[in-house]
């Protein structure tokens, strides 16, 4: 059987809710003098009843005082206001302008990260914002002790600052793993993952990091590094069904390691069988996701069993798994067609060949628009001729 590599796209790589964020300080380091343009802006901004009125106040300030030293802070106010209005493009626009002016406090970076996550967009600036948040968050977690504060009060302040910083960092890391999935260049992904690992060396997300390295090296065509990180991903995040499925698939179809592929695919099947429906996901979408994960595990198990049948001549286990895969992969045309094509091959491998079973499987595979369509049509024609003899 030809060595075939196909690209597999499965949605929902990073299901989960964003961590809660505590209150954030606005424009730290800025002192506002009474009766200055900055003072007028803050009074108008804080006195506004609607976000639209706040935008108007900011627009007025920018049009009249565009060279004021308070402009970077005004851009931060813009990010706050447009975030309330769910206008993520405007949040990104003003957040990037603030960064260009070297205004990189926690709120600006968090607002920019939230806008990128919600907008579905990706850019180098998004990654720069996430990575540059590390230092200001660390600074905020270690406040300076003011005079005349007793030990008990100070401990409460320190504990609160540490908790807030932990929540900020949790969101920033969450944002990184959301955004990295959108980067289309595998080599750029690897570079950003390297920077993330250097910036957050004690991150609790080692499993996610290894999985993203695995995907990035696959995209970059570096098969050996991809397999290295595939092993790390399934070891550091043993409950990640997608990591297990994709790695098992590569072990079977690329490495031709049927035994190891079967071992990982069985774990993937167990994980998929026990999947819980996430909040906010419809029953139909959850069923499609679960069926796809179970189907992919059966596909790998079926192919691994078929590979072993060349020596054992026992093709029954392969047929059972490939039949299951052909039904479960209804939401993934490419993988379903592959399973049906392999099933047709397995029926023909039997002795005597099961032409009827092969014809049924290959007819379905040939009708699907997929990378396997031409091969299925070709084999279907051969089986039809053999069945008439």
pLDDT digits (tens, 9 = 90+) for 120-130: 999 999 999 99
Indicate the burial class of 64 (C-beta count within 10 angstroms; 0-12, 13-18, 19 or more): exposed
At 89, which CATH number?
1.25.40.10
Task: Count how many residues are written for the chain.
Answer: 389
Residues 50 and 159 in one domain: yes
φ/ψ bin of 217: left (φ > 0), alpha (ψ from -120 to 50), beta (otherwise)? alpha
Confidence at residue 16, expressed as pLDDT on a 0 to 100 scale: 36
For 29-67, what is each residue's pLDDT tens digit? 787 889 999 999 999 999 999 999 999 999 999 999 999
Neighbouring residues of 211: CB distance < 8 A, sequence distance ≥ 6: 229, 233, 237, 240, 242, 243
Half-sphere CA count of 286, side-chain side, radius 13 A: 11
Q: Is residue 25 part of a domain?
A: no
Q: Is residue 107 part of a domain?
A: yes
Q: Is residue 4 part of a domain?
A: no
Residues 384 and 251 in one domain: yes
Confidence at residue 25, expressed as pLDDT on a 0 to 100 scale: 65
Do 241 and 10 contact (CB within 8 A), yes or no?
no
Residues 275 and 159 in one domain: no
Number of structural domains the chain divides into? 3
Residues 366 and 256 in one domain: yes
Number of Cβ within 10 Å of residue 30's Cβ equals 15
Do 90 and 62 contact (CB within 8 A), yes or no?
no
Q: Which residues of the chain have pLDDT under 70?
A: 1-25
Residues 96 and 134 in one domain: yes
Do 346 and 315 contact (CB within 8 A), yes or no?
yes
Range of the structural domain that residue 80 is part of: 37-146+155-182
Residues 222 and 254 in one domain: no
Residues 61 and 165 in one domain: yes
Confidence at residue 7, expressed as pLDDT on a 0 to 100 scale: 36
Q: Is residue 6 part of a domain?
A: no
Confidence at residue 145, expressed as pLDDT on a 0 to 100 scale: 87
Confidence at residue 141, expressed as pLDDT on a 0 to 100 scale: 87
> How far lies 154's CA from each of 23, 86, 145, 148, 162, in Å?
19, 37, 7, 10, 12
Cα–Cα distance for residue pair 289/329, rounded to 1 Å: 9
Token pair in block for residue 137? 């968050």
Q: Is the dihedral of CA 269, 270, 271, 272 positive or negative?
A: positive
Q: Is residue 20 part of a domain?
A: no
Q: Is residue 24 part of a domain?
A: no
Cα–Cα distance for residue pair 256/132, rounded to 1 Å: 43
Confidence at residue 265, expressed as pLDDT on a 0 to 100 scale: 98
Do 14 and 64 contact (CB within 8 A), yes or no?
no
Residues 62 and 133 in one domain: yes
Q: Is residue 3 part of a domain?
A: no
Do 212 and 190 contact (CB within 8 A), yes or no?
no
Residues 162 and 201 in one domain: no
User: Tokens 């401990």 correspond to what residue?
Assistant: 155
For 302-344, what is each residue's pLDDT tens digit? 999 999 998 888 999 999 999 999 999 999 999 999 999 999 9
Residues 90 and 77 in one domain: yes
Residues 48 and 161 in one domain: yes
Residues 220 and 330 in one domain: no
Q: Is residue 384 part of a domain?
A: yes
Cα–Cα distance for residue pair 79/175, rounded to 1 Å: 17
């Amino acid at each position: 059987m030809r060595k075939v590599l196909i690209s597999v796209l499965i949605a929902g790589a990073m299901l989960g809710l964003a961590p809660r964020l505590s209150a954030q300080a606005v424009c730290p380091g800025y002192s506002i003098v009474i009766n200055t343009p900055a003072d007028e802006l803050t009074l108008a901004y804080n006195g506004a009843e609607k976000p639209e009125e706040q935008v108007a106040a900011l627009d007025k300030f920018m049009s009249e005082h565009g060279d004021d030293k308070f402009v970077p802070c005004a851009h931060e106010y813009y990010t706050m206001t447009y975030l309330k209005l769910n206008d993520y493009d405007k949040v990104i626009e003003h957040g990037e302008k603030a960064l260009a002016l070297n205004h990189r406090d926690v709120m600006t970076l968090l607002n920019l990260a939230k806008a990128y996550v919600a907008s579905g967009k990706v850019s180098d600036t998004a990654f720069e914002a996430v990575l540059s948040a590390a230092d200001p968050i660390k600074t905020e977690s270690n406040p300076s002790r003011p005079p005349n504060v007793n030990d008990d009060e100070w401990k409460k302040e320190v504990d609160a600052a540490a908790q807030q910083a932990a929540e900020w960092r949790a969101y920033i890391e969450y944002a990184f793993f959301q955004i990295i999935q959108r980067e289309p260049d595998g080599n750029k992904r690897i570079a950003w993952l390297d920077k993330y690992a250097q910036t957050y060396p004690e991150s609790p997300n080692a499993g996610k990091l290894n999985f993203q390295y695995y995907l990035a090296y696959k995209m970059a065509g570096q098969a050996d590094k991809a397999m290295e990180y595939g092993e790390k991903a399934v070891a550091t995040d043993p409950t990640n069904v997608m990591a297990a499925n994709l790695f098992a698939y590569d072990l079977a179809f690329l490495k031709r390691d049927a035994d190891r592929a079967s071992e990982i695919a069985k774990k993937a099947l167990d994980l998929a069988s026990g999947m819980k429906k996430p909040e906010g996901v419809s029953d139909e979408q959850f069923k499609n996701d679960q069926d796809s994960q179970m189907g992919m595990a059966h596909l790998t198990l079926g192919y691994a069993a078929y590979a072993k049948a060349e020596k054992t001549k026992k093709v029954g286990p392969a047929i059972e798994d490939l039949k299951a895969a052909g039904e479960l992969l209804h939401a993934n045309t490419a993988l379903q067609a592959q399973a049906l094509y392999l099933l047709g091959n397995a029926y023909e491998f039997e002795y005597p060949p099961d032409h009827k079973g092969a014809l049924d499987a290959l007819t379905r595979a040939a009708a699907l628009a997929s990378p396997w369509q031409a091969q299925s049509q070709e084999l279907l024609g051969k089986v039809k001729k053999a069945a008439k003899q």
